[in-house]
């Protein structure tokens, strides 16, 4: 089994692997997110994403892009490298790559995954990056799971 650190790839290496996987006939699935505090809802989406193909690549927003997204004051809680390492440690994940933009569109335009998976809080028509994937799959969210609600519970605010 690959170590989690070995699954965190620079874009150039990932694109080389993508070509190998294409040559081998493997279906590449891509999903992305902040993954600030990993919870069961994230794991469910990642496992369902992996079930859509042979290889799962996860894009993780850079710290700067998370701040630009204005998730909440003080976010991200965890630094990019830590978030990437936690995602890479999951058995369903084959590769992790960072991206500095607020959307994965530039990354996906180069990766050209066969499938793009997002959680149920998105609609395919709201995903401009979907144009760079063979198909889009929306996975229903696990009710009651979000990083924001988890942070509120930890702070004693429901």
Supply the pLDDT for residue 150.
56
Mean pLDDT by 10 residues, the chain (158 residues): 90 98 98 91 94 98 91 85 97 97 96 94 88 94 62 60
Whole-model pTM: value is 0.90
What's the Cα-to-Cα distance from 111 to each of 40, 72, 157, rounded to whole Å? 27, 30, 41
Beta bridge partners of 60: 33, 98
Supply the pLDDT for residue 80.
97
Supply the pLDDT for residue 73.
76
* Residue-wise DSSP of 102-153: SSSHHHHHHH--SEEEEETT--GGG-GGGGGSSEEEEEPP-TT--HHHHHHH
Supply the pLDDT for residue 45.
94
Supply the pLDDT for residue 157.
60
Domains, the chain, with CATH or none: 4-154 (3.40.50.620)
Report the alpha-carbon distance of residue 153 to residue 148 in Å, rounded: 9
Report the alpha-carbon distance of residue 95 to residue 88 in Å, rounded: 7
């Amino acid at each position: 089994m690959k170590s989690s650190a070995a699954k965190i790839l620079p874009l150039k290496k990932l694109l080389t692997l993508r070509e190998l996987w294409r040559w081998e006939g493997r279906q590449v699935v891509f999903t992305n997110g902040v993954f600030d505090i990993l919870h069961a809802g994230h794991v469910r989406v990642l496992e369902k994403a992996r079930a859509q193909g042979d290889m799962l690549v996860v894009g993780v927003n850079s710290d700067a892009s998370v701040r630009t997204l204005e998730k909440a004051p003080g976010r991200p809680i965890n630094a990019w490298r830590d978030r990437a390492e936690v995602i890479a440690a999951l058995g369903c994940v084959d590769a992790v790559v960072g991206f500095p933009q607020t959307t994965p569109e530039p990354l996906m335009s180069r990766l050209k995954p066969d499938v793009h998976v997002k959680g149920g809080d998105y609609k395919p028509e709201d995903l401009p990056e979907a144009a760079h994937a063979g198909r889009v799959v929306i996975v229903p969210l696990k009710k009651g799971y979000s990083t924001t609600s988890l942070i509120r519970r930890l702070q004693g605010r429901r």
